[in-house]
Amino acid sequence: MQKLVWRVKLVADFGDGAAEIGVEVGRIERDEFAVPETLGLSLAEGKRVAAAIQTEMVRAQAATMGERSRCCAHCGADLPSKGYRPVTFRSLFGDVPLRVRRFTSCQCREIVDEPRSFSALTLEGGTAPELAYVTAKFAALAPFAKVANLLAELLPVGGAVNAGTVRNRTRRVGERIARLRPEGAADPNIDAVTPAVVVGLDGGYLRSRHRRPERNFEVIAGKVLNLDGSQHRFAFARNDNSASEFANAVVSAGVRLGTPATVLCDGAPGLWNIQRQVMPEAILVLDWFHIAMRFEHALQATRGLGAGTSSDYLRGHPIREIESAKWRLWHGRSSACLGRLARLTHWFDAAHVRDVRGVAAVRRHVNDLIEYLYANQLALVNYGRRRHDRQPISTAFVESAVNEILSKRMIKKQQMRWNRWTAQPFLDVRVAVLNKTLAGSFRRLYPNFQPDNENCPVRLSA
């Protein structure tokens, strides 16, 4: 049978009139008789051709840079060569071993305190920005080992791509890039105040890989909702720095000193402390859902009061009292609500009530409720009016952010060897991916960075 052969040639055109010389970068053979599996390129052939093109291009570019650096850019003097430095350039299309030329810095520049020698090509550790970006982007969504397998299957990525490599690259992106203000984002030092924002704070726990020094550590996560509907997630491990971490997070979300803000949270005392340090003038709102849940617990216990005894007529009074306390709270009358509940606890002490079956449990629930409301008294608002004015009264919008950021996959399946001090770069990458700011942050560092896949929708599964 007749064979078909394609020779893939790469022709460099440097536009200087020199003869173009083609380099063969691939050879593809097929039988004349094509079947679906032999139609077009196979993955292996595609990877091979891409890797060969990459090697040729990168070497040619490095050589060109070597030529250009021969002379001083300022005075034109020839520069003494300092030989070559071996580097491996790691990219999505394979590893390219290179010899990068080094030169002695020109004497005309000595006054400006430049280093004594320089490389013709700066490679910063040798990893291509796009490789770092793609790796970190997927590592925010899937376990490191899976990311390594996926990249190795689809691309001619070189080196030992394994979970450890993915993890290290992701960490470096988290440390160096994920927090950079994305290109095009407002500059907090210059740009105007954001009209009004709602900030939701919540916490979640991550399990440390090692039991020491602690088994779990708390991560504070939340969301800033801007008036224009845009959302900005943030997350940081709880430590001595939490207040300044929170300040950074709200500033990078566009919140400025003087921005009218509402802070919602579920009443964890540590969270209010952080809010007070950073946004002391914000309107505080205790999450209505958590309040309602506590009322419901008290009501459920009350419904079982004196069950099966002649005293079960007693439950009518406390049920009415609890419901009317809740109604008062909904309408912003928190003192009246607390008064009702306090009166109810006295009623439980009355001689004809205190021995009824179940009273102790109800009393405990009502006491918990009172303590919870007292502890968060400054954050009790007129929920009915807020609801009427379509203002948020629940932190549900934050809890979804917490679940996104601290999904079970991230905690359990990735076998994170991290703790409250090492988790931050990974949290930063994940937050940047969810906020869709990662590419913009890369552009802050690499102005020409333009990933093709930038607008691919990012979907998360739990």
**Residues binding Zn ion (CB under 5 A):** 72, 74-75, 77, 106, 108
CB of 72 to Zn ion, least distance (A): 3
C-alpha–C-alpha distance, residues 50 and 153, integer Å: 14
CB of 77 to Zn ion, least distance (A): 5
C-alpha–C-alpha distance, residues 274 and 405, integer Å: 20
Quick one: 104 or 216, whose CB is closer to Zn ion?
Answer: 104
Pairing of β 261-265 and β 231-237: unpaired
Quick one: 110 or 153, whose CB is closer to Zn ion?
Answer: 110
Quick one: 71 or 336, whose CB is closer to Zn ion?
Answer: 71
| Cis amide linkage into residue 213, ω under 30° from 0 | yes
| 94-101: long-range contacts, CB 8 A cutoff, minimum separation 24 | 94/50, 94/51, 94/54, 94/55, 94/156, 94/157, 94/158, 95/158, 95/159, 96/54, 96/55, 96/58, 96/59, 98/58, 98/59, 98/62, 99/62, 100/62, 100/66, 101/65, 101/66, 101/69
DSSP line for 410-443: IIIIT-----TTTSHHHHHHHHHHHHT-HHHHHH
Burial class (CB in 10 A: 0-12, 13-18, 19+), 169: buried
Task: Kindly state the helix (H) or strand (E) to which residue 295 belongs, with its residue range.
Answer: helix 288-303
C-alpha–C-alpha distance, residues 436 and 124, integer Å: 25
**Token representation of residue 448:** 């020409």
Quick one: 81 or 248, whose CB is closer to Zn ion?
Answer: 81
CB of 78 to Zn ion, least distance (A): 10
C-alpha–C-alpha distance, residues 130 and 451, integer Å: 7
Q: What is the dihedral of CA 414, 419, 422, 428, to 10 degrees?
A: 60
Task: Kindly state the helix (H) or strand (E) to which residue 110 belongs, with its residue range.
Answer: none
CB of 109 to Zn ion, least distance (A): 6
Quick one: 76 or 229, whose CB is closer to Zn ion?
Answer: 76
CB of 213 to Zn ion, least distance (A): 55
CB of 110 to Zn ion, least distance (A): 9
CB of 68 to Zn ion, least distance (A): 14
- CB contact at 8 A, 236 and 245: yes
Quick one: 120 or 402, whose CB is closer to Zn ion?
Answer: 120
Quick one: 76 or 447, whose CB is closer to Zn ion?
Answer: 76
**Token representation of residue 368:** 């918990």
Quick one: 104 or 230, whose CB is closer to Zn ion?
Answer: 104
DSSP line for 115-159: -SEEESS--GGGB-HHHHHHHHHHHTTS-HHHHHHHHHHHS---S
Using DSSP, state whether 171 is helix, strand or coil.
helix
H runs (alpha helix) in 29-110 = 43-68
Quick one: 108 or 378, whose CB is closer to Zn ion?
Answer: 108
**Taking the CB of residue 276, how many other CB atoms lie within 10 A of it?**
14
CB of 69 to Zn ion, least distance (A): 12
CB of 63 to Zn ion, least distance (A): 22
Quick one: 77 or 307, whose CB is closer to Zn ion?
Answer: 77
Quick one: 80 or 213, whose CB is closer to Zn ion?
Answer: 80
CB of 82 to Zn ion, least distance (A): 16
CB of 107 to Zn ion, least distance (A): 7
